[in-house]
Amino acid sequence: MLNVEIRHAIDPKTAKAFDTKAMREHFHVGGIFREGEINLIYTHYDRMIVGGAVPAGKRLELDHVKPCGTASILDRRELVVVNIGAEGIVTAGTEYKMAKGDMLYLGMGSGSIEFSGDGRFYILSAPAHQTYPSRLIKIDEAASISLGAQETSNERTIYQFVHPEVMKSCQLVVGMTKLKNGSVWNTMPAHVHDRRMEAYLYFDLADNQRVFHMMGEPEETRHLVLKNEEGAISPPWSIHSGAGTGSYTFIWAMAGDNVDYKDVEMVSMETLK
How would you class 191 by CB atoms within 10 Å of its CB: exposed for 0-12, middle for 13-18, buried for 19 or more? middle
Other beta carbons within 10 angstroms of residue 146's beta carbon come to: 10
Give all strands of the β-sheet with 143-147 in edge-to-edge order: 28-29, 230-234, 196-203, 249-256, 173-179, 156-162, 143-147
Assign 25 to helix, strand or coil: helix
Radius of gyration of the chain measured on its C-alpha atoms: 17
Closest by alpha carbon to 3, among 86, 123, 88?
123
CA contacts within 13 A on the Cβ side of 253: 31
As annotated, the binding site for Zn(2+) includes 191, 193, 198, 240
- CA pair distance 137, 201, nearest whole angstrom: 19
Q: Judging by DSSP bridges, how do beta strands 173-179 and 249-256 pair with one another? A: antiparallel
How would you class 208 by CB atoms within 10 Å of its CB: exposed for 0-12, middle for 13-18, buried for 19 or more? exposed
The answer to whether the beta carbons of residues 64 and 2 sit under 8 Å apart is no
As annotated, the binding site includes 191, 193, 198, 240
3-state SS, 181-243, equals CCCCEECCCCEECCCEEEEEEEECCCCCCCEEEEEEECCEEEEEEECCCEEEEECCCCCCEEE
Q: Residue type for 238, please?
A: S
